[in-house]
Amino acid sequence: MSDLFWLSDAQMARLEPFFPKSHGKPRVDDRRVLSGIIFINRNGLRWRDAPVGYGPHKTLYNRWK
């Protein structure tokens, strides 16, 4: 079992209307990125310490910013 935090389907459905539409280049998986941002903030980690399961730390930071 993974110790990573993941948003549920119900939580994603509530957030879905707030995501920007993709224009040309496909967007990175929003569930993965948002779950990673929440994980970082809950645990007080640096962006570069994000688990690999959430993708590149630069993507997490840029989406948070």
Sorting pLDDT into bands at 50, 70 and 90, what band is 1?
very low
Can you give the pTM of this predicted structure? 0.86
How far is the C-alpha of 12 from the C-alpha of 17, rounded, in Å? 9
Section 50-61 average pLDDT: 95
The answer to whether 8 and 35 have CB atoms below 8 angstroms apart is: no
| pLDDT, mean over the chain | 92
The label of the residue with tokens 């119900």 reads 10
Residue 46, SS3 per DSSP = coil
Which positions ≥6 away from 2 have C-beta within 8 Å? 53
Which positions ≥6 away from 5 have C-beta within 8 Å? 35, 38, 39, 42
- Percent of the chain topping pLDDT 90: 78
Sorting pLDDT into bands at 50, 70 and 90, what band is 27?
confident
- Percent of the chain topping pLDDT 70: 97
